[in-house]
Amino acid sequence: MRITEVKVFPVSDNEKLKGYATIIFDDCFVVRDLKIIQGSASLFVAMPSKKTKDGSYRDTAHPLNNETRRMIEDAVIGAYERGTGAVLDGVAAAR
């Protein structure tokens, strides 16, 4: 499985939420509404989620292992940094 497309939609009016992303796997499966969030040390990607009846949130789509999570984060954060020109924590060139 590979990520064949990443679309990033930056948000400018929020301190922590930096944008949304859509990713496409193998040109045939799309996941929308990933959130790009500024954490205390660096950016991270939050998976799409919905609010449950008890008020908590539950991911509607998420990777099942760390390797896939890292692949998604690298692709999304790399696209965000290229699209916005932001160099965050000095790793944009490595992505």
**Amino acid, res. 25:** F
What does the alpha-carbon distance between residue 77 and residue 94 come to, in Å, rounded to a whole number?
11
Tens of pLDDT, residue by residue over 53-83, are 999 999 999 999 999 999 999 999 999 999 8
Nearest-angstrom CA–CA distance, 59 and 1: 21
Structure pTM? 0.83
Cβ within 8 Å of residue 6, ≥6 positions away: 21, 22, 23, 24, 75, 76, 78, 79
pLDDT of residue 83: 83
Cα–Cα distance, 48 to 34 (Å, whole number): 5
Q: Residues near 72 by Cβ (< 8 Å), separated by ≥ 6? A: 3, 23, 34, 45, 63
pLDDT in tens, 32-44: 999 999 999 889 9
